[in-house]
Chain A
């Protein structure tokens, strides 16, 4: 079974630009979560989607948004990039509709804002 796939792996953007990251979950998984990882703040929850609906959102500004498609693939978008948005963005997928269960992570997208 293929794992969680994130594209692209690496990205360099300029301040003020916007970026879209993609995540394909494990086949059959309908929940997709996004996390930001930085050396200073660690791993922080961005949002979670299930059946194309955002069910939960972390404490990030509105510049961070996401969506999920009917095939469970998800994208996240960051608009008006700031230097502080440089981070590893991780996507995780899991099976359960309700309740928590193990989330499997992708390799991440390393975003550098210059």
Chain B
């Protein structure tokens, strides 16, 4: 498939370990944050979102943490599996109208 990003930072983990992907966002007025997973040749797939009135939200095997003080977002994936290998993007939005500003992305490589 086509390359999503040629020089993305890569996080390599062993299957079964927990993964933490970090993201620094730019706009202190952003009030909505979202994580996407993108596999080669596919569009971004929604993972989890969080609003600025929360600092933690959990989904199935995933947790998003939001630290507004330092404008930092993280995605934790528990018991990482080979199928989790992909590029992960964080995105922020403010003011409605569904305009997402995306981070550069992190490539997650899961090794057996």
Contacts and interface: CB of A to CB of B under 8 A. Distances in A.
A13 interface: no
Interface residues of B, number: 30
Interface residues of B: mostly helix, strand, loop or mixed?
Answer: loop
Interface in A74-112: 88, 90, 92, 94, 96, 98-108, 110
A22 interface: no
Assign chain A's interface to a size class: 20 to 34
A102 B34 contact: yes
A37 B4 contact: yes
B43 A94 contact: no
Contacts of A99: 32, 96
23 contacts: A6-B43, A31-B97, A33-B99, A42-B104, A43-B100, A43-B102, A45-B99, A45-B100, A90-B44, A92-B98, A94-B98, A99-B32, A100-B31, A100-B96, A101-B32, A102-B34, A102-B49, A103-B98, A105-B36, A106-B43, A107-B41, A107-B42, A108-B43
Interface of B: 2-6, 31-32, 34, 36, 41-46, 49, 89, 91, 93-94, 96-105
